[in-house]
Chain A
Amino acid sequence: MIVMEGLSKRFGDTQAVLDLSLEVSQGEIFGFLGPNGAGKTTTIRMLGALIAPSSGTATVAGYALEREDTQIRQRVGILTESPGLYDRLSAERNLSFFAHLYDVSDVETQVERYLRMLGLWDRRHEAAATFSKGMRQKLAIARALLHEPQVLFLDEPTSGLDPEMARLVREFITELKGEGRTIFLCTHNLNEADRLCDRIAVFNTRLLAVDTPTALRQRLYDRKVVFHLRHATSEYVRLVEGFEFVNNIERVDEKLVVGLENPDDQNPILVKALVEVGAEIQYVGELRRSLEDVYLQLVQ
């Protein structure tokens, strides 16, 4: 749905994006992570046909950037970092204006549909200036969806929202994926990216890594399994160390933290061996590295 090949953007002496090559499939939620000034918004603007790349090519929804910009704009929805609403106009008027610009066939129905979907119908006649930050963000999301775009670029969709509102927005994004839309999500919220995204790209002017969140963790860190015992002893440590497949082991209080390649197959072997020598296992769990660890490791 989105294909980039060597996409670069330079502003004077500043290289904003360098040699970005990526593919995003239809129906995928693709996380685009990077520090401030990494070039994320510039990338979204290029892919949304708002600014031209300095070099490289891209296709969005099957249309070539620069050659078919109008077709691209017709097929993508962009949620900009700032909601950018017309404060003096009502919620309904804000949406109907954009619906007309996107040549939506039944403007009234479509506006009503999204106002209802996002819980703004009862306040449709009120000026956008009177809305809370969360409501403004929802109105901006509705605006990005009015023309039923195949591809959605969301720049910090939950930024500044309270937890309840942020959760609603995240659930809504998941629903959009269910409708088969491709979502390109820029966020600083790594938990959000971890929960929502099928794949994640870590980016800082150039692409640092791209994979599923789980694969990124595995790529950077061993998988570690924690055995919680009633009493951990050095005998148990030596026993576990004796298995060839164990990468490393560390005793922390009454826990054994074991590095494994393939915990799904190797855990039962270790559990059986420990039980046989009298270890009382309370429970076993995987030590999960946060996406933040992965991100910081890559960016720094």
Chain B
Amino acid sequence: MNKLWIIARKEWAEVFKNRFVLFTVAFLPLIFTALPLIMLATMGESGDLEGLASDDMPTRFAELCEGMKGPECGQYFIVSQFMLLFMMMPLAIPVTIASYSIVGEKTRRTLEPLLATPISTLSLLGGKALAAILPAILVTWLGFGVFVVGAAVITGGGGLLAGILDALWLIAIFVVGPLLALAAVSVAVMVSSRANDPRVAEQLSMLVILPLLGLFFGQVTGLILVNQRVIIWMAIGMAVLDIGLMVLATQIFQREAILTRWK
């Protein structure tokens, strides 16, 4: 059996018995999926949305509303904020798992027997990263699927659904999301290789969410327009960044330092 899978399966068997981690993995997608659906359902065909489309929405956002009629652009503007959150979801969830993965092994004194096995650092970290990323991505995609179905039922299809299923958001959720997750996990693994407390590791690792929050608020305030071009550049940038972070994480993970500097 591939060593990556051996590590990942052990992580899942262990981590999902931790109620806190289970709650983190389940709660965020539930909220991020339910909230936009509730908003869509309550907004309906409200005339205010036409006003929003013309008055309060960042003017550059109208570029994305091509083919939408009346209040749909307003609905799409509000929903698009949540689409960014869908992109953020696979970043937040695995950080919790990954932060516990190395520091947790350290504090429970299980890391030494593990490092005594013939497993390579790459397989060990890869397995831990996989264990953190995969559930987050699957849960995000599942949440997105539920959201798409819910949105179709609530709005009866039309321009808004087409907007949600635009290549922009599909790339964001199916490509950029996993790449962001990989970056977050690499950072979490790096931090937890050096930290001695899982809480510290998690808090430091969560800092990787800040740039994405900046993107979120940039779009809300109209400073940034997240369009297809931005997303494609983000995907390319993240792919390059991920490779660098993974190499760095493997180099930072020094077996000797981890074993001998335990306190």
Contact = CB atoms under 8 A, between A and B. Distances in A.
Interface string B9-32: 010011001100000000000000
Nearest to B110: A84
A51 B259 contact: yes
A170 to B, nearest CB: 22
A181 to B, nearest CB: 16
B108 to A, nearest CB: 7
Interface of B: 1, 3, 6, 10, 13-14, 17-18, 108-120, 255-256, 259-260
B256 A84 contact: no
Given A50-B259, A82-B109, A86-B110, A102 B14 contact: no
13 contacts: A50-B259, A51-B260, A70-B118, A71-B118, A78-B116, A84-B112, A85-B110, A86-B110, A88-B13, A88-B18, A89-B13, A101-B114, A101-B119
A45 B258 CA distance: 13
Q: Say which size band chain A's interface belongs to.
A: 20 to 34
Interface-central residue, B18, B110, B113, by most chain A CB under 10 Å? B113
B13 to A, nearest CB: 6
B108 A51 contact: no
Task: Determine the main DSSP class of B at the interface with A.
Answer: helix
Given A73-B117, A101-B119, A143-B113, A89 B10 contact: yes
A97 B105 CA distance: 14
Nearest to B3: A101
B242 to A, nearest CB: 26
Contacts of A86: 10, 14, 108, 110
B113 A78 contact: yes
Interface in A66-92: 70-71, 73-74, 76, 78, 80, 82-89
Contacts of A101: 3, 6, 114, 117-119
Contacts of A166: none
Given A83-B109, A144-B113, 11 more contacts: A45-B259, A50-B116, A50-B259, A51-B260, A80-B116, A82-B109, A85-B110, A87-B108, A89-B14, A102-B117, A102-B118
B196 to A, nearest CB: 16
B110 A74 contact: no
A101 B117 CA distance: 7
A179 B13 CA distance: 35
Given A82-B109, A84-B109, A100 B116 contact: no
Interface in A222-278: none
B20 to A, nearest CB: 13
